[in-house]
Structure 1
Amino acid sequence: MSGGVDSAVAAARAVDAGHDVTGVHLALSRTPGTLRTGSRGCCTIEDSRDAWRAADVLGIPYYVWDFSERFQADVVDDFVAEYAAGRTPNPCLRCNEKIKFAALLEKALALGFDAVCTGHYAKVVQDADGRRELHRAADWAKDQSYVLGVLTAEQLEHVLLPLADTPSKAEVRAEAARRGLSVAQKPDSHDICFIPDGDTRGWLAERIEMREGEIRDVEGTVVGTHPGANAFTVGQRKGLRIGTPAPDGKPRFVLEIRPKTNEVVVGPESMLAVDELRGIRPSWAGAPVPEAAPVLRPGAAAGEASASFPVLAQVRAHGDPVAARAHLELVEGDGGAPLPELVVRLEEPLRGVAPGQSVVLYQGTRVLGQATVDRAHSLARPDVAGGSGAGR
């Protein structure tokens, strides 16, 4: 129970369904803020009190579990390391993967609970063989299946999502008000919970050594300087402070981050369009598609590839899905063992996809799985000068 209206109503519906429900609030920081900053952030002391009040109204036990060390290591430190490597991570997705449906679920199962119930807007259904699948929620405007794309088949066996078929957030708020829950009109949290003031660049500057470096155009010409490449992200326009205008007078955008040389590459907006994504660490939200079987079998060797299969690819939590075809390729890992790489070829280009983002695959409303974008590029144009591919 985060202290918000969604988890409070989810808990209430679980009680109504006859489940033996215990409310748990996750303490994710050893020094949580006392008050929220508007609707920014979550998991503050104020939020824990709101969750306690909701549990009291529902008549269920309530506990605060300290996961601050796991959250620091698996989410915050990972966030810093990804930016230091020139990538742009999604910490909410990582929190679901490592904390809410790993650390929390592991502890719950060890204590004898059957499932973790949350207020996420997504749906778990069973296929004809009784296997669980993850699907979009009824309210596509609030759908959160993207950030749950990291869930595995084993985790889906122990997940309850009571808000799956709710047609709108307004209905959830109205229900909370009818139940006498004080969080009925509480604003939604947004942005990164551990950066409640929203100043990601300033927060990173305190944790990553920022060194002044060069800004280059696609031909390799130096067009300006920057205070630290790690604070930029692909697709960024503001904050470049380039003194020399582009020959056509149009704005320039970040095309690539090169952490090894501390360089930022900029170019026209048209060069942000990519039509092939290559993702590492792919995972399946349920049973893998049949086409993947040859690559996933024991003994498969580097160089083997699966047949392609149709998908809808989504690279942002509330982005529009794009039709594509995907396949798996086995590549040689650092230790020599073959590792699967997800290749997604888009039927329509996507703009400004950054390494570190997650690409989540769908077929209809079903979530197939996801991978972390390692490279994003256009098959129709060469790489920018001096680089090894946009996103590398």
Structure 2
Amino acid sequence: MSGGVDSAVAAARAVEAGHEVVGVHLALSRMPGTLRTGSRGCCTIEDSMDARRAADLLGIPFYVWDFSERFKDDVVDDFIAEYAAGRTPNPCMRCNERIKFAALLEKALALGFDAVCTGHYATITTDASGRRELHRASAEAKDQSYVLGVLTAEQLAHAMFPLGDTPSKDLVRAEAARRGLAVAQKPDSYDICFIPDGDTSAWLAERVGTAPGDIVDRTGAVVGSHEGAHAFTVGQRRGLRLGTPAPDGKPRFVLDVRPKERTVVVGPREALAIAEIAGSRYTWAGEPPADPTETFACDVQIRAHADPVPAIARVVERESDASGEPSGSAASVSSGASVTELVITPDAPLDGVAPGQTAVVYVGTRVLGQCTIDRTVSAVPVPA
């Protein structure tokens, strides 16, 4: 129970369905006195009090479990390391993967509980063989299956999402009001929960430090300078402060971030088009394809609120690059070794994809699996 309206209504529906329900709030902050600022942040002391009041109204036991150390190690430190390596991570994916459906689920099962129930908007179905599948919610505008794409078959076997069939968030708020839940009109949280002021660049600068370097074009020509590569993300246009204008006078965008070289690569808007993405850190949400090394049709989604794009995908084995790592990958392998990747080729180029993002693969409404993007292939060749 995060302290928001969705988890409160999910708990109420679980109680109404006859389950034995225990409310758990996760203490994830290393500063438990932190208060929520408007709709920024979550898991604060104010949120825990809201969750407790909802549990009291529902007549269920309520506990606060301290996962702050695990959250720091598995989500916050991972976020810092990914940015330091030039990638753009999604901390919500890591939190679902390593906290809510790993650390929390492990403890719940050890204590004899059957499932973790959350307020996510997604649905779980069971096929003819009894295998569980993760699907999109009925309300596409609120669908959260993307951030659950990291769940495995074992985790799906112990997950419940009571809000998945609800057509809209307004109906959930109205239900909360009818039930007398004080959080009925509480604003949704947004941005990164452990950076409540929203200034990601300043927050990272304190932890990663600054390392001045060059801004170059696709040919390697220096066109500007920067104070730290961590402050840049693929697709960024503003704040580049380039000393050399483009020959055609058009704006330039960040195409690649290379912190080891302290270099940021910029280029024209059309060079953000990506023809292929691949990741060695991939998982299947339930039953995988019969033979994932055979090309299969799918849809791919690269952001929580992006539209799915038709694509083909398959698992391939390829040699790592000369550095001993797949381009952009966090995985360390010996030079010349091979790496197994989920390679996804969209029917039409994707726009502004950055290593570190998560690509979730769908077949119809079903979440088939996901990968953390290690490398991308531009649809526009580098000029000679």
TM-score (normalised: structure 1): 0.92
Looking at structure 1, the residues matched to 350 and 37 of structure 2 have their Cα atoms a distance apart, in angstroms, of 33
Corresponding residue for 1:314? 301
Please state how far the C-alpha of 1:211 moved relative to its aligned partner: 1.0
Please state how far the C-alpha of 1:332 moved relative to its aligned partner: 5.7
Is contact 1:291-1:309 (8 Å) kept?
Answer: no
Looking at structure 1, the residues matched to 44 and 100 of structure 2 have their Cα atoms a distance apart, in angstroms, of 17
Is contact 1:122-1:137 (8 Å) kept?
Answer: yes
Corresponding residue for 2:354? 354
**Deviation per CA, 1:117-169, whole angstroms, max 9, x where unpaired?**
00000011001111000000000100000000000000000000000100000
Which letter does structure 2 place at the counterpart of 1:310?
Answer: A
Question: What percentage of aligned pairs have identical amino acids?
Answer: 71
Superposition map of 1:265-344 within 5 A? 265-292=265-292, 306-331=293-318, 334=333, 339-344=339-344
Is contact 2:301-2:359 (8 Å) kept?
Answer: yes
Which letter does structure 2 place at the counterpart of 1:185?
Answer: Q
Which letter does structure 2 place at the counterpart of 1:372?
Answer: T
Corresponding residue for 1:381? 380
Which letter does structure 1 place at the counterpart of 2:70?
Answer: R
Looking at structure 2, the residues matched to 259 and 337 of structure 1 have their Cα atoms a distance apart, in angstroms, of 24
Corresponding residue for 1:169? 169
Is contact 2:115-2:159 (8 Å) kept?
Answer: yes
Looking at structure 2, the residues matched to 70 and 331 of structure 1 have their Cα atoms a distance apart, in angstroms, of 34
Looking at structure 2, the residues matched to 384 and 34 of structure 1 have their Cα atoms a distance apart, in angstroms, of 51
CA shift in 2, pair 1:193/1:33, >3 Å: farther
Corresponding residue for 2:325? none
Is contact 2:122-2:145 (8 Å) kept?
Answer: yes
Ranges of 4+ aligned residues in structure 1 off by more than 6 Å:
none
- SS for the counterpart of 2:124 is strand
Corresponding residue for 2:15? 15
Is contact 1:22-1:62 (8 Å) kept?
Answer: yes
Is contact 1:362-1:368 (8 Å) kept?
Answer: yes
- Structure 2, gaps ≥5 residues long: 321-332
1:246 corresponds to 2:246: yes
- Structure 1, gaps ≥5 residues long: 293-305, 386-392
Is contact 2:219-2:382 (8 Å) kept?
Answer: no
Is contact 2:37-2:196 (8 Å) kept?
Answer: yes
Please state how far the C-alpha of 1:35 moved relative to its aligned partner: 2.1
Looking at structure 1, the residues matched to 367 and 360 of structure 2 have their Cα atoms a distance apart, in angstroms, of 7
Which letter does structure 1 place at the counterpart of 2:313?
Answer: A
Superposition map of 1:141-220 within 5 A? 141-220=141-220
Looking at structure 2, the residues matched to 326 and 33 of structure 1 have their Cα atoms a distance apart, in angstroms, of 47
CA shift in 2, pair 1:166/1:277, >3 Å: same
Is contact 2:276-2:343 (8 Å) kept?
Answer: yes
Please state how far the C-alpha of 1:235 moved relative to its aligned partner: 0.6
Is contact 2:4-2:47 (8 Å) kept?
Answer: yes
- SS for the counterpart of 1:19 is coil
Please state how far the C-alpha of 1:91 moved relative to its aligned partner: 0.2
Superposition map of 1:104-143 within 5 A? 104-143=104-143
- SS for the counterpart of 2:49 is helix
Looking at structure 1, the residues matched to 96 and 31 of structure 2 have their Cα atoms a distance apart, in angstroms, of 21
Please state how far the C-alpha of 1:271 moved relative to its aligned partner: 0.3
1:262 corresponds to 2:262: yes
Looking at structure 2, the residues matched to 158 and 9 of structure 1 have their Cα atoms a distance apart, in angstroms, of 19
Looking at structure 1, the residues matched to 61 and 340 of structure 2 have their Cα atoms a distance apart, in angstroms, of 44
Corresponding residue for 1:296? none
Which letter does structure 2 place at the counterpart of 1:218?
Answer: R
